[in-house]
Amino acid sequence: MSTPVDLDPFARFRAVTRARIGLGRTGDSLPIRAVLDFQLAHARARDAVHGHVDFAAMAERIGADRPVIRLKSRAADRPTYLARPDLGRRVDPMMLADVSKGAYDVAFVVADGLSAAAVEAHGESVLAACLRRLGDLAVAPVVLGEQARVAFGDEAGEALGARLVVVLIGERPGLSVPDSLGAYVTFDPSVGRRDSERNCVSNIHADGLPHEAAADRIVWLIRAALRLGLTGVDLKEDAGGATALPIV
């Protein structure tokens, strides 16, 4: 008895990846299902980039438990933000007048970044999970950053006088995941910090790193950074997550 021919040799690969592989063809074109799926993914990615986080509602929810500060970047609107990344890295100077320094160990910044969908879906949950693990540290008021990029947190953290800043931000969406959240940890935040001076926990989303697991990694980095006085390429995380060593 002959063995049936496998009509879809790529099926076993698609079961373990979200990459678009083995899509097939209809004549010299893609099948209509693959074309429509691609167009839907592209539309979701565009919506994520051009979307807006409801920071007013978020401020009310977070503010029920702890102080919240709302800040905006120097980008006046979304089109400017997308065209001028440099403006998204700095806080509107008029808004810094209302920020006071304190003896804080950690400051959290929730920023829209390039995916409003990511912040709406994951930002508050990851923030809450981190805060539950940091009861022994002095945490600054939570900053909500509008039209903000990662370096926005450097200036916000410096204004608060925090030893370390964590920026929870919407990552650039792709055609498989439009709502991925990233966390950037920077010791001694100040204007001019380089990306090499940060540690990143990325791919926080429903099909990636779960909220609680992400919080475990973020808090581990926070405590290691505060203990060693550094972040970025100088901070090495071992595979088991048990120790942190400065690179020498």
pLDDT tens figures, 178-193: 999 999 999 999 999 9
> CA–CA separation, 59 vs 81, rounded Å?
22
Q: Give alpha helix (H) positions in 74-120.
A: 78-83, 85-88, 93-96, 116-118
Q: Determine how β-strand 142-146 pairs with β-strand 68-72.
A: parallel
Q: Determine how β-strand 181-187 pairs with β-strand 164-170.
A: antiparallel
Range with lowest mean pLDDT among 16-20, 118-122, 196-200, 206-210: 16-20
Mean pLDDT score across all residues of the chain: 90
Vertex 149 angle, CA 145 and 154, to 5°: 80
Global pTM reads: 0.87
**Average pLDDT for residues 77-104, to the nearest whole number?**
95
> Which of the four pLDDT bands, split at 50, 70 and 90, describes residue 47?
confident
Q: How many CB atoms lie within 10 A of CB 5?
A: 6
Look-up of token digits 């400017």: 80
pLDDT for res 123 = 97
Set out the domains of the chain in order of their start, with CATH numbers. 50-246 (3.40.50.11240)
3-state secondary structure 55-71: HHHHHHHHHCCCCEEEE
- Residue 204 parent element (H or E): strand 198-204
pLDDT for res 6 = 59
